[in-house]
């Protein structure tokens, strides 16, 4: 039996968990416009197929710019991933090799669908909405209730990625955050 200190232990993969994915602005733009459909990571990403990932464009943009729905993740050697996904990464082979130099188990995050937010949510606003907001180096899973506060106003833009019921639940949670019970509220966003 493997304990937590065992090097072969893998954290569980859960498609119901939303991840926050930090991406360079050039690649965030390409993911959201569809010209890039595979995001490469130096280490295995424990993100399940079907999971929602919010896309955070790193410096100098420093903003939440959209979201992707993950089709699958694929972990293999750099050469094997390049053979399968290279033409979808937005990288040429030299960039790819330089990025993965020394990586033994890189991961391809394959995108099923993407959406761009009407307006980016800049870092100071994210921290206003969620005081303990931390940008990830690579990715991190959002804590319970963090999604609704970060998406304050953007939930409707996720409907085609998460489905109407899930988007409605996110939207309802946002409405409660914006207008606590006992205060008249209209959803006029």
| pLDDT tens digits in sequence order for the chain, 189 residues long | 333 333 343 444 445 789 999 999 999 999 999 999 999 999 999 999 999 999 999 999 999 999 999 999 999 999 999 999 999 999 999 999 999 999 999 999 999 999 999 889 999 999 998 888 899 999 999 987 788 778 766 666 666 666 644 444 444 333 333 333 333 333 332
- Tally of CA atoms within 13 A in the half-sphere of 165 that contains its CB: 0
pLDDT of residue 136: 92
pLDDT of residue 174: 39
**Cα–Cα distances in Å, from 137 out to 41, 43, 93, 170?**
11, 12, 23, 26
Q: Do the beta carbons of residue 38 and residue 4 sit within 8 Å? A: no
pLDDT of residue 55: 97
The end-to-end CA distance of the chain, in Å, is 52
Q: What is the homologous superfamily of the domain 19-178 according to CATH?
A: Hypothetical protein. (2.30.130.30)
Strands 63-75 and 107-122: antiparallel
Distance CA 122, CA 156 (A): 19
pLDDT of residue 3: 34
């Amino acid at each position: 039996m493997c304990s937590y200190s065992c090097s072969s232990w893998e954290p569980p993969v859960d498609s119901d968990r939303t991840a926050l994915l930090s991406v360079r602005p050039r690649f965030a733009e390409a993911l959201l416009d569809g010209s890039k459909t595979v995001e490469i990571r130096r280490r295995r990403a424990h993100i399940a197929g079907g999971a929602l990932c919010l896309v955070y464009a790193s410096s100098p943009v420093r903003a939440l710019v959209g979201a992707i729905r993950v089709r699958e993740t694929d972990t293999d050697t750099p050469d094997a991933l390049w053979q399968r996904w290279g033409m979808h990464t937005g990288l040429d082979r030299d960039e790819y090799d330089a990025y993965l130099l020394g990586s033994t188990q890189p991961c391809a995050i394959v995108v099923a669908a993407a959406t761009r937010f009407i307006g980016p949510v800049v870092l100071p606003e994210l921290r206003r909405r969620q005081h303990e907001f931390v940008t990830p180096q690579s990715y991190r899973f959002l804590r319970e209730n963090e999604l609704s506060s970060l998406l304050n106003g953007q939930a409707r833009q996720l409907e085609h990625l998460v489905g109407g019921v899930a988007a409605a639940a996110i939207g309802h949670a946002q409405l409660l955050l914006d207008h606590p019970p006992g205060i008249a509220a209209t959803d006029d966003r």
